Structure 1
Amino acid sequence: MNTVLLMLSLIATAQGLRCMTCENARSHEDCDSQGVMRECLENELSCAIEERKVNYGPGRLIFKHCKQPLACNNNYIQNDRPAWWPIQCNDKFPNSVCRCCCFEDECNIGHERCFGKAAISCGNQEDVRGGITTCSDGNRFRSKCDFQCQAPAQIYPPDSSSSVCLEDGSWSKPAPCCANPCPALAVVDLVIILDSSSSVGEAGWQTLLSFTRSLLSLYTLGNNSVEVAVVRYNAEVDTDNIIPLDNGFNRDELFAAISSLPYDGSGTRTGNAINFTREFILENGHGHREFAHDLVVVLTDGRSQDDVAVPARLLRERGVMTYAIGIRPDQAPDNFDIRNDLLNIAGSEDHFFVVEDGFSRLNADFAEEITREICSDPCGLTPHL
């Protein structure tokens, strides 16, 4: 008799799996607050969640219910996914659905316990500068963000047109930029600082001017692309023959003005010329454009007689990209070394060049080499937006 009573008691108290049920809820919170907790049938041994998106709209519809494990397994088979991933998603256009099954009481309340990795989110994906960012599911796990640029700008790096939110909460690739083709369509206020000290000599000076024209010939010059200023210096800055950014010259007129720059003087106060560039050439009111990036290129054949580190650092603190080209004279003594000055000017090993063979190497090929380095990160030469 006791055995019969015990069996009857077990039958009376046994309960089925308990799952939240709702249809067409606008969020998990709405579903859980307005839905009904239901005891499932004997063959419904799992709780399920469906998240549906219609026409790739920003919202989703939430469905929760009891489900047979066999139906859950069929979902797994029908929708490809990594073996470790518990979610079954079908991202067909224009509608999509993601499903998940779990097997404990009330495990489909919220979404974390059922979806597991669906609770993972990455940091907000940055909008691509100068373009459009479109994400399939915000910053949630498995969301894919696609980046597009408006012509003529192009995605850079070229293999960064999309990024996916990964299991570890990071994006598979950082947001790219929309970069104009460089050098052709770079948007830059370019200042060239030329050393005309006595060690350069008349022949060397003419080579410097020829090299400057070769360098500039690689860029598109104009109000919406590259504007050019040229500063000549020795012990002092030649303020009588400055070519400012707002010179108003077309290409031929600019090249003629460069060719007519005089050569004379002694002394090499490069720091003074850099300070002049920061305080005058790159100040608003002298042709400096707020939307353009700033690039300063210094050409010198000797060690500076004043400090260059602080003036160059002050330039870079304003966001100016600095490059330095040092010409080692043909007859320079063995202990002649301007690398330290060049590094202080450029701020990086990648931003300075030493010409070991004197002025003869300052030719069109070398201008292209310099330009390839300057354009190695075209994101730094796109307009400020």
Structure 2
Amino acid sequence: MKIVAFCFVVGSFIACTKGLKCMTCYTTGSFEDCDVNGKLKQCMPNQDSCETVVRRSGSHMTVMKGCKNSRACENNQMQNRKYSGRSTQCNADQINSVCTCCCNDDLCNGGAPTCVEHYKPTQPLLDCPQVRENFPHGKIECYNENKAGALCEYQCTAKDYAVWPPKRTTNVCLANGTWAHEEPCCARPCPPYYLFDNILMFHFGGEDGTQQLENTLNMFSSSPIAEDALKEAALYFSGEPIESSVVKFNEYGADLTRMVQLIKERIKAVNEGGPDVGAAIQYAMDNLFIPEAGARDDRVPKSITILTNRNPDDDATEVAEEARRRGILIYFLGTEVDNYKFDREKILDITGEKEHIYIFGQSFNTLTADLLTDMTNHFCQNPCDHVLHDHN
């Protein structure tokens, strides 16, 4: 039984108890189905029993578990012996049966009810593998250890982390000695926490080039970055990449504000020739996708994003193909103004995929739904298998 304490707060008595915790569920399946799909519920102060009610009509069985006032639960359990037909209300020899069992400890109503002989397991109950003590970015609380019917609750305590898969915050030890689900993990949601190294390559020409560049730079002020999530480098290219514009992956730690500051300070509209995309891609592979510039190892996907309002001046097909052979995804984000048109076929030779080409109007200051979906498909896998998160 749980002991209820009371506190005196601002002239009032308020219950200060953690209270009983019971499995709560309703199913037309089995006892295990009820546990696997149910919830561990914090009972109200006046609910000091856990109740299991089994209703059977022929082969159809309904199981209900939850919190109950102990006196009410005991009254219901007494009805098990009430005469009904040729036997009792709770029976195994009639078409209809209603059985109730009560108990008074945390999660004591997990598994089959023990107060009814014909519902007791006929096979020995097996223990499940021990649950690990360390749960990165969170904590685990288990009831009944790793015995059959045991339940473990998973909670994430680190900022921006949540249990994955979503809503899978509990796990139940089944009678056959296996846990009902694979163990969850604490992970940050993807999106917005994508995992990849991305190089932003800018070129904006023409009378409105400077203003379009400024509008574009504002788009990158809210993308979450982290050592185990998205990291970005940047450069401005014209006839050749502008060395003074380069921002490396390792220049700002995981400080988004600092990254945006560096990009806005260094990326300027400098047009000393037409946009040489091939030279910019080659520069990125040789000088930025390397450990010395802060690029991470091969476990982390790589991409290049070209942001421009002009067609490439060069034939970048060969170097772009080499980048793609290395597993680097190439995206093209362009703006068309004053009847200016992009050469779609030439751009496709660079990206290799139509889905990686995004053409906007006057300017853009946000990512489109299609682009976000594509990024999610490429960079959001099972977060419990995240190559840089400690989930072991």
Q: Under a length normalisation based on structure 2, what TM-score does the superposition of the two structures give?
A: 0.49
Q: Under a length normalisation based on structure 1, what TM-score does the superposition of the two structures give?
A: 0.49
Tell which structure's C-alpha radius of gyration is larger: 1
Higher helix proportion: 1
